[in-house]
Amino acid sequence: VSAGQDNAAFGTLALGFNTGSENAALGAFALVLNTTGTGNAAVGYNALGVNTTGSRNTAFGARALDASTTTDDNAAFGHEALGLTTTGDENSAFGSGALRDNTIGFWNTAVGTHALERNTTGRYNVAVGHQAMRFGQVGWGNVALGVGALFAHTTGHYNVAIGTDALDLLTAGDSNIAIGLQAGNYNVNGSDNVYLASPGPALPQSSESNTIRVGTTGLHTSTYIAGVTGAIAPSGVPVVVASDGKLGTVVSSSRYKRDIESLGARSEVIQSLRPVSFRYRDELLGGAEATTEYGLIAEEVADAAPELVVLDADGAPQAVRYQLLAPMLVGESQRQERELARQREELAAQRAEIVRLESRAAGIDALEVRVAELEALLGAERARREGGVDAR
């Protein structure tokens, strides 16, 4: 030690060129080039080896912070932790290789072997767990908690991954949230997604954005959400679920439709459907009492109108799209009303014809009476004449 006060140095050339104060160096070449830096602690071979003016740094481990020259307020615990940092400030690295390649990134926290190892210029990232965000390079504002969380991530921002291998294949997506074992690990570069105990897209190594997925298909078979039953939403619309678990609402505006045609006689198919009463099987009710229900049988509906049926993953009928029955009922009601109107018109015409025929029949009856009267008069006149001839 050439100058400075309150310094401690143990090891070959430790604090060899120092003029600063309140530094502690333990290990060969630890803080060897420090000149005016103060308040540094370096333990390990070449720890903070090229630091010159940086202050308040703590390096424990061989080559920890060994490229740092002017940085301040960094903490590196582990072999090569923050090893390449040159000017980045206020980083914390705990674990062998943690934040190893960081150069000018700042406000990063890495806890775990190889956590944030490849980070170069990224800032205010948090990675906790073995290889968490290992390949993160220039992203910022990311949080990875769990072994391998955000493992392959390189350039994206503001992602949150909590759980082993959560979002581990994501490379460049932004603003994703994944919670749970391997949550979102199918997504490679989508953004603005939320995955809760869900691997993400339907196919591995694909991409999607602006999607919320909760649970894993085939694993989670029941859903309970508080605050729904009894809640009133007077302006709401019904929610429907597809066979793959996707939720949505049925929109009615013509803006979303094409090939619009009137139903016509196609609504007649509902006449072939068989309404039934039934009870659900006890093993499906979780101990609840089975009450009488009313509905249709999906297999029967599939035979008559397959477009009204939802199929399961194996292609077997599973549910009836009851929401489609309403417009068909309206169409059939209108068709029946038109038929009734036609029948009423026919009945009115028939009644008018009957009145006409009755009037005609009444006229005929009157004529028959008149003819009878005339025949009687003629008969009387004939008899009178015949009587006069006999008298002569």
Interval 91-145: pLDDT, tens? 999 999 999 998 899 999 999 999 999 999 999 999 999 999 999 889 999 999 9
3-state secondary structure (DSSP) of residue 119: coil
Please give the residue that has the higher pLDDT: either 376 or 134.
134
Query: Positive or negative CA dihedral for 283, 285, 290, 295?
Result: negative
Q: Which two tokens stand for residue 134?
A: 């290992």
Please give the structure tokens belonging to residue 37: 């830096």
The pLDDT, as a whole number, for residue 329 is 93
Q: pTM value? A: 0.78
In this prediction, residues 156-161 reach a mean pLDDT of 96
379 — pLDDT class (breaks 50, 70, 90): confident
Q: Are the CB atoms for 65 and 45 separated by under 8 Å?
A: no
Going by their DSSP bridges, the two strands 75-77 and 276-278 should be labelled as unpaired
Q: Is the pLDDT of residue 2 over 60?
A: no
Q: CA nearest 249: which of 302, 355, 323, 307?
A: 323
pLDDT tens for residues 220-272?
888 888 988 888 888 888 888 887 788 888 888 999 999 999 888 888 999 99
pLDDT at 390 over 90: no
Write down the pLDDT at residue 369.
87
Residue type, 260: I
Residues of the chain with pLDDT > 90: what percent?
60
Q: What is the pLDDT of residue 213?
A: 95
Alpha helices in 227-318 (DSSP H): 298-304
- For residue 1, pLDDT over 80 is answered with no
- Distance between start and end Cα atoms, the chain: 187
Q: What pLDDT was estimated at residue 246?
A: 86
Per-residue pLDDT at 222 = 86
Helix (H, G, I), strand (E, B) or coil at 145: strand
Q: Kind of pairing, strands 194-196 and 177-179?
A: parallel
- Rounded to whole angstroms, how far apart are CA atoms 124 and 101? 15
Beta strands in 165-265 (DSSP E): 177-179, 194-196, 212-214, 239-241, 247-249
Say what the pLDDT of residue 283 is: 87
34-71: string of b/e by CB count within 10 Å (b at 16+)? beebbbbbbbbbbbbbbbbebbbbbbbbbbbbbbbbeb
What pLDDT is stored for residue 235 in this prediction? 82
Instruction: Check whether 350 has a pLDDT greater than 60.
Output: yes
Higher-pLDDT residue of 174 and 262 is 174
pLDDT above 70 for 391: no
Q: For the segment 311-342, what is each residue's pLDDT rounded down to a tens digit?
A: 988 899 999 999 999 999 999 999 889 999 99
Q: What is the mean pLDDT of the chain?
A: 91
Give residue 205's pLDDT band: very low, low, confident or very high (50, 70, 90): confident
Residue pair 214/193 in contact (Cβ under 8 Å)? The answer is: no
SS3 (DSSP) at 8? strand
Report yes or no: 70 and 88 within 8 Å, Cβ to Cβ.
no
- pLDDT for 3 equals 66
How far apart, in whole angstroms, are the C-alpha atoms of residue 217 and residue 379? 106
Helix residue ranges, H only, 236-324: 298-304
**pLDDT over threshold 90, residue 306:** yes
Can you say whether the dihedral through the CA atoms of 334, 337, 339, 342 is positive or negative? negative
Judge whether residue 388 has pLDDT over 90: no
Q: What's the pLDDT at 313?
A: 82
